[in-house]
A and B are shown apart, each in its own frame.
Chain A
Amino acid sequence: MMNQSNSRRATGRRARRRTALLLASSAALCGGMQSAHAVPSFARQTGQDCAACHVGAYGPQLTPYGMKFKIGGYTDTDGKDGKLPLSAMVLAAFTRTAKDQADPPADHTHRNDNLTLDEASIFLAGRLSDKIGAFVQATYDGVEQRSSLDHADIRLAHTLDLGGKEAVFGISVNNNPGVQDPFNTLPTWGFPYVGPAVGFGGGDAATLFNGGLEHRVLGASAYAFLDNSLYAEVGTYRSLSPAVQSRTGQGRDEDIGRLGGGTAYWRLAWLQDWKKQNFSAGLFGFNANVQPDRVGGAPSNKYHDLGVDASYQFLGTREHVGTLYTSYIRERQTRNDLIANGEADNRKGTLNEFRINASYYYRQTWGVSAGRFATRGNRDAALYGDGYANGSPDSSGTVLQADWTPWGKEDSWAAPWANLRLGLQYTMFDKFNGARRNYDGNGRDAKDNNTLFLFAWTSF
């Protein structure tokens, strides 16, 4: 099987670089790609409750108010000085898989029934000046037992009045394509918002846009939000050098390689906010040319990701809140480098990801969520070899979650300092890495990866 442990220990730096992008989820979905975020410093800065910006009174699921706060560059304030833009967060979990894993998923862990400190983070999060704000996270990964720069998004935003309509123009400098997006439909901020670091959250294959470049690139984008409805953004990214990646705690060995000059990210979305309810619909795209060996003239792999997404939220009086999100990403790959190194059979291929999920929250406290995910792609026996069945990257399954968020409302104890979510999540697989049964050739079935994830998530 190609589990987190195996991917981490894969031999050969070159091979790892080439395949890392196509197998992004081996470290991402199994390794806590859905990095958790909830930032009380925003609440202290604005005087708002967590529930004003977040469905379920806990991040990262944003209401329109929260979306506008993010688009506005994290600068909105209640007008009082002396607010420190600092927060902290801890996520601890118990993880059980249906069948013991072949090897411990990481050093210092067991083959099953792991109690882990998944993340301990500090944030620089909030207003730095009238027009500049930041969301920068540094995380200690208790599973890997190392610290690194996590999500970073620094913004400059300016609001204008255009013919009686509000228009926000901004720039984001960030280290992860999609981290700057205000909607919860793209992979970076999509459901599940927290996932097992030592279990299974999805198959091993993932699109480049789904976490393949996170924290190993630096990009800038310009965006506009017109009349609280039309959102448009365009940007580009460059890969960080191995030395910089090392300094930011990402590690040199898992360097993705060099991004070509034509790397482009774009986003177009419409938000219709009626206060009681709202919906959004959008398109997004990401094109990148990745050269794993960083040598001039060496072959590269090209990725063209195109996505469509939509969301609906019923907020009402906030006593009963329901949400529905969906997205579809189609990735076209041209694998020149992989072909040249015998790591793929086919020069061209596609990988598609579909997600849909819904949630219900009662009194912003009690929540249930359910989601479906499916990854489908062209078969390639070399690319999807070890750990895959039939040369297929296909995986699909269901995620169920129930959670309790006792604080984060106006009358909550110690608001806005104390925030807590306790949750129970269960991920069930129909198919894993190409097959329902014996996907790894050693008798392991997809359902053996079903993962129970019990988490305690607090921030202050």
Chain B
Amino acid sequence: MMSLFVLPAARRLSAACVLPLLLSAAPVFAADLRHGEDVFAQECAECHSVREGKNKKGPSLFAVAGRRAATVSDFAYSDAMRQAGIVWTPAALDAYLANPRKAVPGGKMKYDGLADTHDREDLIAYLAGLK
């Protein structure tokens, strides 16, 4: 499952990154994850925690990758999210992060969306590592 989330970030490696990738994949991968973590801190952390069982205004995002939507215990989801039938695959996360209101009409997340594709990729990669 992890590889599914790493791929989007890896796809945009530039030529300058190839050598370090050959020498060691870890630095490049970590850099993207670090950016994803920063994106999370800037865009998401006000309302979401990455700690298991820590719900804030939004549910905990610990182990969100591959999880069925609206299944975190002790969190009051909107009816729209409960009925959305979403599984948080990379594609589903990408669509939701790009435009939450369009992806889940009637949902209660007050977020306009993350427009930058690379930011979404790195964020999704970071979320995939939360296990």
Contacts and interface: CB of A to CB of B under 8 A. Distances in A.
Contact of A166 (B43, B46, B56, B110): B110
A276 B46 contact: no
A9 interface: no
A164 B113 CA distance: 13
Interface stretch (A47-55, A230-238, A291-299): A47-55
B3 interface: no
A318 B76 contact: no
B55 A47 contact: yes
B3 to A, nearest CB: 27
Given A52-B47, A79-B76, A80-B76, A47 B42 contact: no
A114 to B, nearest CB: 39
A15 B38 CA distance: 59
Given A65-B46, A78-B76, A79-B76, A47 B57 contact: yes
Contacts of B45: 318, 410
A315 interface: yes
B106 to A, nearest CB: 10
Contacts of B56: 46-49, 52, 78, 410
Nearest to A164: B101
Given A46-B57, A317-B41, A318-B41, A52 B46 contact: yes
A319 B55 CA distance: 21
B51 interface: yes
A316 interface: yes
Interface string B22-51: 000000000000000010011101110101
Contacts of A164: 101
A291 B57 CA distance: 48
Contacts of B118: none
B42 to A, nearest CB: 5
Contacts of A79: 75-76
Given A78-B56, A78-B57, A166-B110, A48 B46 contact: yes
Interface string A65-104: 1001000000010111000000000000000000000000
Nearest to B43: A275
Interface of A is mostly: loop
Nearest to B49: A410
Of the four ranges (under 10, 10 to 19, 20 to 34, 35 or more), the interface on chain B belongs to 10 to 19
B47 A48 contact: yes
Contacts of A65: 46
B50 to A, nearest CB: 9
Contacts of B110: 68, 166
A15 to B, nearest CB: 51
Contact of A317 (B38, B54, B101, B112): B38
Contacts of B38: 317
Contacts of A76: 57
Contact of B51 (A68, A78, A316, A410): A410
A319 B34 CA distance: 14
Interface string A268-282: 000000011000000
A281 B125 CA distance: 37
Nearest to B56: A47
Nearest to A64: B46
A81 to B, nearest CB: 9
A47 B72 CA distance: 15
Contacts of B51: 410-411
A316 B43 CA distance: 9
A80 B56 CA distance: 11
A317 B57 contact: no
Contacts of B41: 316-319
Nearest to B112: A228
Contacts of A166: 110
Interface string B95-113: 0000001000000001010
Nearest to B108: A79
A48 B57 contact: yes
Contacts of A317: 38, 41-42
Interface string A208-223: 0000000000000000
A59 B24 CA distance: 46
Contacts of A318: 41-42, 45
Interface of A: 46-49, 52, 63, 65, 68, 76, 78-80, 164, 166, 228, 275-276, 315-319, 410-411
Interface pairs A-B: 6 shortest CB-CB: A79-B76, A317-B41, A52-B46, A47-B56, A317-B38, A276-B42
8 contacts: A46-B56, A47-B55, A48-B47, A49-B56, A65-B46, A80-B76, A275-B43, A316-B41
Given A52-B47, A228-B112, A316-B42, 8 more contacts: A46-B56, A46-B57, A76-B57, A78-B55, A78-B56, A276-B42, A319-B41, A410-B49
